[in-house]
Amino acid sequence: MQFFNHIAEALTIYFKDEYEIELSSSDVQIQPTRKEFEGEYTLVVFPLSARVKKAPPVFAEELGEYLMLHSDFVDGYNVVKGFLNMSLSAHFWREMMEQVSDTEAAFKNMDYRGRLVLEYSSPNTNKPLHLGHIRNILLGWSMYKIKQRCGHEVIRTQIVNDRGVAICKSMWAWDNYAEGETPDSSGLKGDHLIGKYYVTFDKVFNEEYALWQNSDEAQKYYKDHAEDGQSPADFFKKFKNRYFNEHSKIGSEVRKMLLLWEEGDPQVTQLWKKMNDWVYAGFKETYDKLEVTFDKTYYESDTYKLGKDLVEQGLEKGIFYRKDDGSIWVDLTDAGMDEKLLLRGDGTAVYMTQDLGTARVRYDDFKMSEMTYVVGNEQDYHFKVLFEVLKRLEESYADGLYHLSYGMVDLPGGRMKSREGNVVDADDLIEEVIQTAHSSVTERGGLEGFSEEDQKENIRRIAMGALKFHLLKVNPKKRMVFNPEESLDMQGHTGPYVQNAYVRIQSITRKMSDHTLTGFEDYRDINEEEKALIQLLLAYREVVLKSADEHDPSHLANFLYQLGKTYHRFYHEHHILRAESDAAMSFRFKLSQAVGQTLEDGMELLGISMPERM
RNA sequence: GGCUUCGUAGCUUAACUGGAUAGAGCACUUGACUACGGAUCAGGAGGUUGCAGGUUCGAAUCCUGCCGAAGUCACCA
């Protein structure tokens, strides 16, 4: 910020003239003064006094005196231990008010930071989106907005996992049990319909498995393979996957389906396409409700064979090696990781192979210098390895790779398990939040006189504001326990609270049309609340940059809450339209406008729209 | 077991990357201008920052060791 530079410059000159010491910018630490002390900004003197070997309080006095004399901005000071609290002049506040009023100016002329490919959704086509996906998607969308604001050119992508055993299970179950059921005939959203048959498969398979467990064959297996003291229940729980692959009748049918799919069998392909189209229509609906879009969608069915040539190249370069069975590996033990398989002995790909290939394809498509993956922290190790391998392959974007790893969303009862049915479905959740906002709004009657269409839109914005803010206000890295009731809160530290500050300002703006703005330059006695607002507005740009650099929208969300809170307080303490003078009214109105614009802009960066009324 | 991440008020969380007396919200409780919109505001109560050491002017933050939680260590995705 300009003021920080101003002080830093003054101090640099002072240190040079007085002590012949070159200051670096990190020596100068300025922070807002804590509210229990007098002043608005505080210089932390410890690092500076250490440079000249003087006692901090004594040196703070010395600097305070110097700044009083040599800066128009510093009007007074006091010293508490090693802290120099500065009070700033009316001249400072007026000048900052000018600066802050031009809300557009803060992000003009940002340096171009290059092209960034951002992957922020990777759904499976065998089940609908749930709460975890929502956190993923909202984080990604916000990062897109923030990165773009800070000078990046962002390409938004998703990778759809549209192949494999899982989708074949749904296909098999649909084929055998659906009797031709479609989204149209059932009234179910496409992704929910497919999810339904995924569950059907699980049920049928479990029944088959339970039956088998009583057979002589199964009993023999138990006797031959169970560990000492292992109960049948325990044994068969662990054996389930092997049963599917080696004994199950329907398991073999599903695996056959997968093989047919891989061979491009027309009938299976047709079924696969039909069902996937249903799912995509369902996903699109959910994405629309979340207000997100993509520039480019990658499908695993296109990419799952990629990456083999990259692996071959690595082998030629000598950074990978081949084992006797023909499989290809990379040894990362020198980087503190393991040996990692990159290609199976039979030449087929593993997950890692695909990801290597997909990264290269994206480079071919976009020539990006950076790439960010928004993926849950259960894959931390995978990405660590992936990035290391890409680095060894000397991919040009390797230094620009980042895994935006977010914590799992758990429910009060523990982890979400789709098989056990305790998942929070994305569509259900959105519906529920909208319902809550609806009853909340009708209770208050804030939208009376609006057309039905406008009411609906305002309610939607409030509801989505609540949900999005709830998920974005916490540090992405942290695992979060999602209490459905709390996400529906609309008071306190919430999206609607911030929206309410904005709505109040809009209300004032509408009424202001009767008044004329005159003489705000003459306003002298700038009060505490006004100063606090200006200070916050001055910090906005820094906060956005910080969120961009740290890949963390929660800084921005918490800042907006703080700004809203400070405005609510100001609003309560001081009259605006009925201010004591024209000058005060103009000043406060202008300040309110700046706050309103900043709130709206900041929420937009979180993917949240403002209602006009609520 | 190895590695990674995380333990802050009853609950959900913040702390400008080592700065002042750890700051909010929910819940609980006492109040508020004959309303520029009460989805608001002011106050009260609630903390040995998991435990024990260490580093220094100064530690929730850095180091070490415990205790507890989660994730991950597949020729799964």
Residue A200 above 80 pLDDT? yes
Please report, for the domain that includes residue A40, its CATH number: 3.30.1360.70
Which nucleotide is closest, CA of A561 to its C1'? B24
- Nucleotide with the nearest C1' to A78 CA: B20
- Residue A568 is predicted with a pLDDT of 96
* Closest residue (Cα, C1') to B33: A572
Distance CA A261, CA A301 (A): 10
Sheet holding A328-331, edge to edge: A321-322, A328-331, A339-343
**A494: CB within 7 A of chain B nucleic strand:** yes
Query: CA A503, C1' B72: Å apart?
Result: 47
Residues 387-416 of chain A in contact with strand B via CB under 7 angstroms:
408, 415
**For chain A, percent helix, then strand, then coil, each to nearest 5?**
60, 10, 30
Q: Taking residues A290-302, report their average pLDDT.
A: 95
> Is residue A185 domain-resident?
yes
Residues 6+ away with beta carbon under 8 Å from A187: none
**Within 7 Å: CB of A213 and strand B?**
no
- Of the pLDDT bands very low, low, confident and very high (cuts 50, 70, 90), residue A228 is low
For residue A474, pLDDT beyond 90: yes
Using the structure, give the distance in angstroms from the CA atom of A495 to the C1' atom of B44, rounded to a whole number: 27
Tell whether the model's pLDDT for residue A181 goes beyond 90: yes
Distance separating alpha carbons of residues A145 and A607, to the nearest angstrom? 8
pLDDT at residue A142 is higher than 70 = yes
From residue A172, give the alpha-carbon distance in Å to each of A108, A163, A198, A243, A265: 56, 13, 9, 18, 15
Q: How far is CA A238 from the centre of its chain?
A: 36
Residues A73, A170, single domain; the answer is no
| pLDDT attached to residue A27 | 81
- A186 in the same domain as A74: no
Q: Same domain for A171 and A263?
A: yes
Which CA distances in Å does A74 have to A58, A61, A383?
A: 19, 14, 50
DSSP A145: H
Nucleotide nearest to A564 (CA to C1'): B40
Which is more confident, A22 or A611?
A611
Same structural domain, A188 and A83: no
Q: How many helices (H) and strands (E) does chain A have?
A: 23, 14
Q: What are the tens digits of pLDDT across the range A144-165?
A: 999 999 999 999 999 999 998 8
Q: What is the mean pLDDT of residues A561-577?
A: 94
A242 CB less than 7 Å from any atom of strand B: no
Chain B bases closer than 7 A to any CB of the protein: 3-6, 11-17, 19-21, 24-27, 33, 36-42, 57-58, 70-77
8 A C-beta contact, residue A46 and residue A79: no
The pLDDT of residue A230 is above 90: no
The mean pLDDT of A171-180, rounded to a whole number, is: 93
**Predicted local distance difference test score (pLDDT) of residue A419:** 65
Domain assignment of residue A194, yes or no:
yes
Mean pLDDT is lowest, of A407-416, A455-464, A525-534, for A407-416
Nucleotide nearest A36 (Cα, C1')? B21
Mean pLDDT within A320-333: 91
Mean predicted confidence (pLDDT) in A256-268: 92
Q: Is the pLDDT of residue A417 over 80?
A: no
Closest nucleotide to A376 by C1' from CA = B71
Separation between the CA of A491 and the C1’ of B24 (whole angstroms): 13
The whole-number average pLDDT for the span A555-583 is 93
Q: Which residue is nearest to nucleotide B38 (CA to C1')?
A: A444
Question: A387: which residues sit within 8 A by CB, 6+ positions away?
Answer: A398, A401, A403
- Residues A68 and A186 both lie in one domain: no
In a domain, A454, yes or no: no
Domain assignment of residue A237, yes or no: yes
> Of A245, A272, A291, which closes a domain?
A291
Indicate yes or no: strand B within 7 A of the C-beta of A78: no
Residue A32 CA, nucleotide B17 C1', distance (Å):
16
Query: Would you say residue A286 has pLDDT above 90?
Result: yes
Q: Domain of A80? A: 2-88
What pLDDT score was predicted for residue A418?
67
Mean pLDDT computed over A521-538: 90
* Single residue among A39, A67, A88 that ends a domain in this structure: A88
Q: Is the CB of A577 under 7 A from strand B?
A: yes
Q: Give the pLDDT mean for A119-139.
A: 94
Instruction: Supply the pLDDT for residue A445.
Output: 81
| Strand B lies under 7 A from the Cβ of residue A84 | no
Same domain? A168 vs A287 = yes
Overall number of domains in chain A: 2
The nucleotide whose C1' lies nearest the CA of A500 is: B39
pLDDT exceeds cutoff 80 at A414: no
Note the pLDDT of residue A51: 87
The token duo for A493 is 């530290």
In a domain, A177, yes or no: yes
In-domain check, residue A201: yes
In a domain, A462, yes or no: no
Which of A236, A267, A291 corresponds to the end of one domain?
A: A291
pLDDT tens column, A34-86: 888 889 999 999 989 988 888 899 999 999 999 999 998 999 999 998 899 99
**What residues contact residue A274 under an 8 Å CB cut-off, 6+ apart?**
none
Is the confidence at residue A544, as pLDDT, over 70? yes
Is residue A11 in some structural domain? yes
Position A268 scores a pLDDT of: 94
> A49 near A56, Cβ under 8 Å?
yes
* DSSP track, A267-295: HHHHHHHHHHHHHHHHHHHHHHHHT---S
Cβ of A5 near strand B (under 7 Å)? The reply is no
Picking from A423, A477, A349, the residue whose alpha carbon sits closest to that of residue A124 is: A423
Cβ atoms of A89 and A531 within 8 Å: the answer is: no
What is residue A415's predicted lDDT score, i.e. its pLDDT?
78
Strand arrangement of the beta sheet that strand A401-406 belongs to: A296-299, A152-160, A114-119, A370-376, A401-406
